[in-house]
Structure 1
Amino acid sequence: MKYKLVAIDMDGTLLNNNNEVSERTRKAIDKAKEKGVHIVISTGRVLKSALYYGKSLNLKAPIIACNGAIIADESDNIIYKNSIDKNLIKSIIDIAKERNIYYHFYDESRFYSHVKVEEVLKFYNEGNKENSIDIKVFENIEEIIEDKDLNVYKFIFIDENKDNLQNLRRELGNIDNIGISSSWANNIEAMGCNVSKGEAVKELCTKLNIKPEEVIAIGDSENDLPMLRFAGLGVAMGNGNEIIKKEADYITDTNQEDGVAKVIEKFILE
């Protein structure tokens, strides 16, 4: 099978534990590009952060961000977007506030939250000092919702108490027209209706005239499952959770052991 597109999650997949792309992975990506393969970042991160890593790898390919809510082309133009209904934003926030769970949400380039958490900003800005992500702290959500130009693409809720998160997930599940997923053991994510990495990869393949069986998708978490299910070859990282490993067609090594590079070498370059 000749694969034409590789969709790669970022955190826990493309990036090692230092938020870096290894030299072996960079070389494998460059060789795959030389063969005409589309290397597509597919991440839950805010678009601005995804674009930074895309440029650092000189991908010159579309970028999928916010769990599939946005696709930007190789010139950074947004070619697809599916934001959360603004009428739902206050209801979503009220549920988090009632449970005293930290949250923030994204537009294309910025975080919004009721409180500034330095650890969160440090995580997203690690290795990205020149193009850092900012956060707008607000007291009243109404002042944010009133902005007609604002598009909210994703909420993320963080809590170390798993029972709190599961209760939050159940309550969010009662709200129509939002999708719910997770990318770490300590978070829950909410997006617009029918938003997923799988839908975004499908949309991109339609534009590029690429068949599902010509796609490799690589990830480590629940939010990667839709694109692994869509792809002809769904690959779980060795450090991935058990849910994704059970559904994967193939399991590679961890993000610390060049797992992504080994997939590209085996299925694209050999």
Structure 2
Amino acid sequence: MAIKLIALDLDGTLLTSDKTITVRTKDILARAMARGVTVTIATGRMLCSALHFARLLGSRAPVVCCNGAYVGTGAEAPLFARYFDPAFVGEFLTFCYARDWYVNWYSGAEIYAPTYREDYFTAYRTTANFRVHAAGEDYLRYVDEVPQFVLRDLDQGIAHHARTVAEAFGDAVCGQQNTGTSVDITPPGTSKAVGVRALADALGLTMDEVMVAGDADNDVEMLSMGAFSVVPANGLPVAKEHASYVTASNDENGIAAAVEKFVL
């Protein structure tokens, strides 16, 4: 069947290494949308960043963000959302604060952290109006509607943090997209696949009408969910194992090439 929904990861997939979208990619995706194809973002990033890049493409579709824990536009009730219980958020933040870990978390459309450290958010430098709220010691005020935490450590790496969280919280959390210096923590049962499926269901689409694209470990469930899956040449081997098609790299218009070949 014809592709009617395209869900694109951001970092390493849609975005080039300098965190931008090429003119060619914008043009190809605009042609797809002109044909009635819904184009959206499926990312581990927060809502405002996902929406920023969706709007750059000219898409008004709901976005899949926070590794699938939130699907929506922020303007109305989400199509799908999975939040941590506020009491658990307080417990988890207290656990991190007690260890002097750098943790940021999303509450609604906002991002919070103990303090703002620019070196931890360089990937967001091309996101308009990006702002981190410094919660300081008042962090327990910001525990509602939290779909994701992110632990960061550029100096020592994140392996110790990930192990400690797994030992302390077990299956109450799900660790995703461990980059070596950061790890995303979402509610159990959360993945981009869950989010994309929720959007496809809302649009009345089956998986053979969906194209997904991603490059990393947090994309694997989405890539293997039964949709037509695209992985750029720069993708991790574990992602390529689940690809219907391996395209050119994110710096070589790989997404544009795949969409032109299989959608247009």
Question: TM-score, normalized by length of structure 1?
Answer: 0.88
Do structure 1's residue 133 and structure 2's residue 131 form an aligned pair?
yes
1:174 maps to which residue? 170
Q: Please give the alpha-carbon distance, in whole angstroms, between the structure 1 residues aligned to 2:126 and 2:33.
A: 24
Q: Please give the alpha-carbon distance, in whole angstroms, between the structure 1 residues aligned to 2:161 and 2:176.
A: 11
**CA contact 1:63–1:74 (8 Å) conserved in 2:** no
Gaps of 5+ in 2: none
Superposition pairs of residues 125-164 of structure 1, within 5 angstroms = 126-129=125-128, 131-145=129-143, 150-160=144-154, 161=157, 163-164=159-160
What is the Cα deviation at residue 201 of structure 1?
0.8
Superposition pairs of residues 1-270 of structure 1, within 5 angstroms = 1-73=1-73, 78-97=78-97, 100-124=100-124, 126-129=125-128, 131-145=129-143, 150-160=144-154, 161=157, 163-168=159-164, 170-171=166-167, 174-176=170-172, 178-182=173-177, 184-269=179-264
- The 3-state SS of whatever aligns with 1:207 is helix
- The 3-state SS of whatever aligns with 1:220 is coil
Q: Please give the alpha-carbon distance, in whole angstroms, between the structure 2 residues aligned to 1:121 and 1:159.
A: 12
Question: Structure 1 residues 185, 245: CA separation in 2 closer, same or farther (over 3 Å shift)?
Answer: farther
- The 3-state SS of whatever aligns with 2:20 is coil
Q: Please give the alpha-carbon distance, in whole angstroms, between the structure 1 residues aligned to 2:30 and 2:44.
A: 23
What is the Cα deviation at residue 165 of structure 1?
4.3
Q: Please give the alpha-carbon distance, in whole angstroms, between the structure 1 residues aligned to 2:175 and 2:90.
A: 17
Question: Structure 1 residues 179, 50: CA separation in 2 closer, same or farther (over 3 Å shift)?
Answer: same
Question: Structure 1 residues 169, 252: CA separation in 2 closer, same or farther (over 3 Å shift)?
Answer: farther
**CA contact 1:213–1:231 (8 Å) conserved in 2:** yes
**CA contact 2:107–2:142 (8 Å) conserved in 1:** no
Query: Which whole-Å deviations, capped at 9, do the CAs of 1:144-195 have from their partners, x for residues lacking one?
Result: 34xxxx311110112342532442353265142x322116332211112322
What is the Cα deviation at residue 74 of structure 1?
9.5
- Structural RMSD (CA): 2.2
What is the Cα deviation at residue 75 of structure 1?
6.0
Question: Structure 1 residues 208, 143: CA separation in 2 closer, same or farther (over 3 Å shift)?
Answer: closer
Query: Which whole-Å deviations, capped at 9, do the CAs of 1:110-151 have from their partners, x for residues lacking one?
Result: 221122211234431x2334x222323221433334xxxx31
Q: Percent identity?
A: 27
Q: Please give the alpha-carbon distance, in whole angstroms, between the structure 1 residues aligned to 2:190 and 2:249.
A: 27
Question: Structure 1 residues 189, 39: CA separation in 2 closer, same or farther (over 3 Å shift)?
Answer: same
What is the Cα deviation at residue 51 of structure 1?
1.2
Question: TM-score, normalized by length of structure 2?
Answer: 0.89
What is the Cα deviation at residue 9 of structure 1?
0.5
Gaps of 5+ in 1: none
Q: Please give the alpha-carbon distance, in whole angstroms, between the structure 2 residues aligned to 1:47 and 1:68.
A: 11
Runs of 4 or more consecutive aligned structure 1 residues displaced over 4 Å after TM superposition: 73-77, 97-100
**CA contact 1:67–1:223 (8 Å) conserved in 2:** yes
**CA contact 1:95–1:171 (8 Å) conserved in 2:** no
Question: Structure 1 residues 210, 74: CA separation in 2 closer, same or farther (over 3 Å shift)?
Answer: farther
What is the Cα deviation at residue 224 of structure 1?
1.2
Matched length: 262
* Counterpart residue type for residue 232 of structure 2: M
